[in-house]
Structure 1
Amino acid sequence: MELIAKATALVGGTVAFMRKMGAPSHQAVGAAPDIPDAKKQGIMTLKMPVAQGWQEGHLPSCAPGLKVNAFASGLDHPRWIEVLPNGDVLVAESKEEVGPPKTLMDHAAQATMRRVKAIGNSANRVSLWRDTDGDGVAETREVFVENENQPFGMALVGNDFYLGNTDGIKVFNYVPGSTSLSGPGKKLVDFKPHGHWTRSLLVSADEKKIYAGVGSLTNIADQGMEVEEGRAAIWELDVASKEARVFASGLRNAVGMAWEPQTNVLWTVVNERDGLGDETPPDYLTSVQDGGFYGWPFSYWGDTVDDRVPQDAELVAQAITPEYALGGHTASLGLCWMPEGTLPGFGDGMVIGQHGSWNRSKLSGYKLIFVPFENGKPNGAPQDILWGFLSDDEKVAYGRPVGVVIGADGKSLLMADDVGDIIWRVTAA
């Protein structure tokens, strides 16, 4: 009990210290962000609102011309969404499972995460939701697959259903129209679990490759580079040969992935490192080059060196500068391409679910945003689609955005909310 009390005091003390230092007056956003100089924190800022969820009749706020409703509710920490060809909606219900804390900082971090239900017992299942009458609300719920290991990413290629568990990729046989998978599945690729545990999946347009995001174990390779081998990367799985390789590296925690259809280039959103300040460095949206290196852990935003890390000058010189900053610690997780005509008032661009910060003095994220694109690149300031997931005093979280997809009708967005335990549906008003 004494250790828990000290951990709680540590959380409050770090937030008070950062307030005293002063929060940045602006967010590092856009193609040419103004990134503040790094300020090593020593003790990392910890601040997390209490997870409350939504009261009856309380909804997120949405952009003019839009409306939002609960497509599905009563889930257990929904994280990622996949829409099947017949319109069935799959939802991965899972959360991080942690071991006993080893240090005072572990206690403090775990106490912070529990406040918003980010860690605990994982449901470890994928549920299937079916809207039989097309009214935008699912009427039936089935267990599609269960007893998996922190399932997250999903992908369908023909009748092969791929599932990204924290410890690897499995494949199952899928019968079109079925409400569940049968059999244990076959494991194709092994990934190291723990740390940044999510394993998103994305299929190439020709369905010959599957890409998987595998985050780092630690913040800045705190336990050495050996345990980070194969991590902080996007992997590529060849569907025919079942061979896998690292496609791009130096990406601390690449979660959502999407294709930009004009150029057929892979894009991802990346959660950057902690302990250098509220806005330093920003999370980002970037295209991903085959064989590209994006800096982690040695540098950020290209060749800006993080001198807390033993350096590799050759790799820093190769580091690719991301294309679009999303603000510090926004925890940008969900990503999908939204073509013009999907929602009124929005053109072509990327939709991003910002889960929200836990490690800065003034919270950021906690909304669903849109980044406009032109000629295959971001073009313009981000636009809010949904907000209101956080109370004005930052003490309460009603919800936290995660995965986002285009609905089966092509005229809606579906977004997972892992605090509200809801799948929200956004359409024209």
Structure 2
Amino acid sequence: MLRKVFFSLLVLIGLPAAAAYQLWPSAWTINAPMPNDVLNWGTDVAPERTLREKLHLPDGFQVNRYAVGLGQARIMRWTSGGDLLVSIPRKGEIALIGRDTKKTGRGGAIRALLTGLDRPHGIEIQGGYLYVAETDAILRVPFDEATGKLTGVVERFITGLPADGNHWSRTLRMGPDGWMYVSVGSSCNVCIEKDNRRAAILRFRPDDKVAEIYAEGLRNTVGFDWDTQGRMWGVDNGRDLLGDDLPPEELNLIQQGKFYGWPFRYGNNVPDPDFGQTPDPRVASAVPPAYGFPAHMAPLSVKFIHGPVPGLRNAALVTLHGSWNRSQKQGYQIMSVHWAADGTITAAPFMTGFLQDQNVLGRPVDTTEGPDGAIYVSDDYAGVIYRVSYGAATPSPTEPAMPAPERTTPPAAPAPETVAPQPKAEQEPENSGETPPAREVLRGEALFDTAGCRSCHGGDRPLAPLKDIVARYNREDIARLLATPPAAMPSFGQLKEDERLAIAAYVLATYE
């Protein structure tokens, strides 16, 4: 009991990672690709020849880089004109990768379609609008798919989504019934939520701003999709800090009005050690998962394949982003999921090799079928979009690298109840801007301590050493990271923008 109380206090002051590292048993292991997960450092993009050697696919498939230099590439959506939209939450940006007009298997120029957004994640296109899910709102803007250009101003269409705590991403999909579906993860690892819109999938009627809770008890269902029968399936991320092998990650058949167990049950309705004895009338009818993946693999996307891809017709691809709360990393791959005629579900490796001897090459997030029939994969670790095709390998590994991203200013005009996209500079020098005044650095030092940052990043044996910060990042980069912390970091929702910038000023002045 004392240990649980102490751990709760540590969470409140931002010390869970340090406690796991120094004080507590192996159930609280921290083992993430720290440069990416904590510092937002990616990895050098592997040469194409190396990718072909290290990434493994079923016979007949090959991989090439479709686009590079994207940063935290997350959700993808194709336009009818053949451009690929990608959400980049930490940049606050929706990027557009130009269509492959030369049929080389590589995308065209990259430009910022929307900027200045609050952690954009889910993307949809419907009825002449581009919809974007921010953490606390759904935006929409008139959009011409044929030209890839915005044709109006951005409207905050739905506002007031819960935004406190952890699990900031919001996935947005338009269902086959015409409704808009939005997933909202829990605010915590495990707790009783005060807002019943958390750990749930919400839905909205077209042009209606009132949320309906479609399904609940889903801790963090980042990815969901519909099969050819119109059934919704979602992948749910289980809780942490129960050891290497508990609880399993889940593939759920998501049905309206159903409850899926969290925080009272996990896996095959196993009582949770913290809240398993808490009475709740929904527990008696909690729906167990249809299929389970090993613990901590972090499934982020499930997408059904509808094209004639060999071995994948009517199967689904599930991206496993990779563990952080496990003594030996696992996940970091894509699995294909198959349904037998009797409903039995099986899974097999589809794309592996992102994890090499516990070293991380990439972290897959989303998949999508392209207009050319290939499968495209986003990687928020390497900042790459991969193209996976079947048949002859094109282009050759000796072709030139992709052009650097181009930044253009999208059209916008301020209007009541609208938010105009904010332009970005063409290219901002590393660590640009004036040196912050000494009082700002001192304020940042105090906030660095009160937020618990020093427990992980200070001392003689830091969990995540802060090295080469000045060479890699400026104040705005670090402030954005604090606004969108990864799973291995606590939430900093209590910090205001000026406080995040002050911490960044201190970090840049102290850790070179």
- TM range, normalised to the smaller chain? 0.7 to 0.9
Alpha-carbon distance between aligned partners in 2 of 1:66 and 1:338, rounded to the nearest angstrom: 15
Q: Which structure carries more strand by proportion?
A: 1
**Residues 366-407 of structure 1: CA distance to partner in whole angstroms, max 9, x if unpaired?**
001100123594532x12221111221x1x311100011111
> Are the structure 2 counterparts of residues 428 and 250 from structure 1 closer, same or farther at C-alpha, using a change threshold of 3 Å?
same
Give the match for residue 489 of structure 2. none
**Residues 235-259 of structure 1: CA distance to partner in whole angstroms, max 9, x if unpaired?**
1111143332110000000011111
Alpha-carbon distance between aligned partners in 1 of 2:134 and 2:115, rounded to the nearest angstrom: 11
Give the match for residue 80 of structure 1. 75
1:173 paired residue among 121, 130, 142: 142
Larger Rg over CA atoms: 2
**Residues 346-382 of structure 1: CA distance to partner in whole angstroms, max 9, x if unpaired?**
34211011100000112111001100123594532x1
Give the match for residue 101 of structure 1. none
Alpha-carbon distance between aligned partners in 1 of 2:116 and 2:342, rounded to the nearest angstrom: 40
Identical aligned pairs, as a percentage?
Answer: 30
Give the superposition deviation at 1:63: 2.0
Any conservation in 1 of the 2:92–2:118 contact (CA below 8 Å)? yes
1:374 paired residue among 327, 340, 353: 340
Any conservation in 2 of the 1:294–1:302 contact (CA below 8 Å)? no
Give the match for residue 249 of structure 1. 216
Give the match for residue 341 of structure 1. 308
Alpha-carbon distance between aligned partners in 2 of 1:90 and 1:427, rounded to the nearest angstrom: 20
Map 1:46-125 → 2, pairs under 5 A: 46-49=30-33, 50-51=35-36, 52-57=43-48, 58-59=50-51, 60-94=55-89, 122-125=90-93
CA RMSD of aligned residues (A): 2.2
Alpha-carbon distance between aligned partners in 2 of 1:161 and 1:61, rounded to the nearest angstrom: 35
2:183 pairs with 1:213: yes
> Are the structure 2 counterparts of residues 277 and 8 from structure 1 closer, same or farther at C-alpha, using a change threshold of 3 Å?
closer
**Residues 272-316 of structure 1: CA distance to partner in whole angstroms, max 9, x if unpaired?**
111212221111111101011001111112432113126124221
Give the match for residue 132 of structure 2. 163
Map 1:226-265 → 2, pairs under 5 A: 226=194, 228-261=195-228, 263-265=229-231
Gaps of 5+ in 2: 1-9, 37-42, 392-512
Give the superposition deviation at 1:229: 2.9
Alpha-carbon distance between aligned partners in 1 of 2:379 and 2:278, rounded to the nearest angstrom: 39
> Are the structure 2 counterparts of residues 301 and 256 from structure 1 closer, same or farther at C-alpha, using a change threshold of 3 Å?
same
Give the match for residue 326 of structure 2. 360
Alpha-carbon distance between aligned partners in 1 of 2:112 and 2:249, rounded to the nearest angstrom: 34
Give the match for residue 137 of structure 1. 106
Alpha-carbon distance between aligned partners in 2 of 1:256 and 1:166, rounded to the nearest angstrom: 15
- Specify the code of the residue in structure 1 equivalent to 2:305: M
Gaps of 5+ in 1: 19-40, 95-121
Give the superposition deviation at 1:13: 4.9
Give the match for residue 122 of structure 2. 153
> Are the structure 2 counterparts of residues 9 and 286 from structure 1 closer, same or farther at C-alpha, using a change threshold of 3 Å?
closer
**Residues 63-117 of structure 1: CA distance to partner in whole angstroms, max 9, x if unpaired?**
22100011110102101111112221000011xxxxxxxxxxxxxxxxxxxxxxx
TM-score by length of 1: 0.80
Give the superposition deviation at 1:171: 1.6
Any conservation in 2 of the 1:338–1:351 contact (CA below 8 Å)? yes
2:142 pairs with 1:185: no
Alpha-carbon distance between aligned partners in 2 of 1:268 and 1:239, rounded to the nearest angstrom: 22
2:388 pairs with 1:397: no
Give the match for residue 331 of structure 1. 298
